[in-house]
Amino acid sequence: MAATVRIPTSLRGLTDGNREVEVTHGPVAEVIGDLVERFPRLGERLVDEGGSPRRFVNIFVADEDIRFLDGVDTVVDDGVVVTILPAVAGG
C-alpha cells in the first residue's frame, strides 16, 4: 500500500527526473525518511540534520499544510498525495 509524493520540477533533478514518487504510507516523518533513504540529495533539501522539515519547505498532505495539521506526525493514508511546495520568487 502506498502514498504518492509530488515533486516540483525544480527538485526533479534530485529524484532521477521522477515527478511522482511512491512511498509507504504512514506518518510524514516516515514518508520523508523513505524519501531521504532513496534520494539522499532530495533529503538534504527537505529536512535539517535533526530530521525536521526546513522552514522554507512546505509539505502538504491532501492539499493541507502539515504545519496546520500534526506536523511530521501527520498520518499519510494509503492513496493520499503529498505535495512538496518550494517558495519561488521569479517574476
Partner 1 sequence: MTLSYRDVVSEAKRHIREIEPDELASRLGHFVLVDVREADEHSQGAIPGSVLAPRGLLESVISAHVSDPDAGLVVYCAGGARSALAALTLQGMGYRNVWSLEGGFSRWKREGLAWRAPETLTSDQRVRYSRHLLLPEVGEEGQIRLLESKVALVGAGGLGSPAAIYLAAAGVGTLGIIDDDVVDATNLQRQVLHNLDRLGVPKVESARETLTALNPDTKVVAHNVRLVADNVLEILGEYDLVVDGGDNFPTRYLVNDASLHLRKPVVHGSIFRFDGQVTVFDPYDGPCYRCLFPEPPPPELAPSCAEAGVLGVLPGIIGSIQAIETIKVLLGVGESLVGRLLTYDSLTEEFGTLRVRRDPGCPACGDPDRPPRLIDYDDACVYRGPGERSG
Of 58, 71, 75, 80, the one binding partner 1 (CB under 8 A) is 58
Which residues neighbour 9 within 8 Å (Cβ) at sequence distance 6 or greater? Answer: 19
19 CB neighbour count, 10 Å cutoff: 12
Determine, following the binding rule CB under 8 A, whether residue 71 of this chain makes contact with partner 1: no
Q: How many residues bind partner 1 (CB under 8 A)?
A: 24
Q: Is 15 in the site for partner 1 (CB under 8 A)?
A: no
- Cell, residue 76: 499519510
Residue 89 as a binder of partner 1 (CB under 8 A): the answer is: yes
Residue 48 has a CB neighbour count (10 Å cut-off) of 10
Which grid cell sits at 90? 521569479
Q: Is residue 17 a contact point for partner 1 (CB under 8 A)?
A: no
Residues lying near partner 1 in the complex (CB under 8 A)? 8-10, 19, 45, 54-58, 60, 63-65, 67-68, 83, 85-91
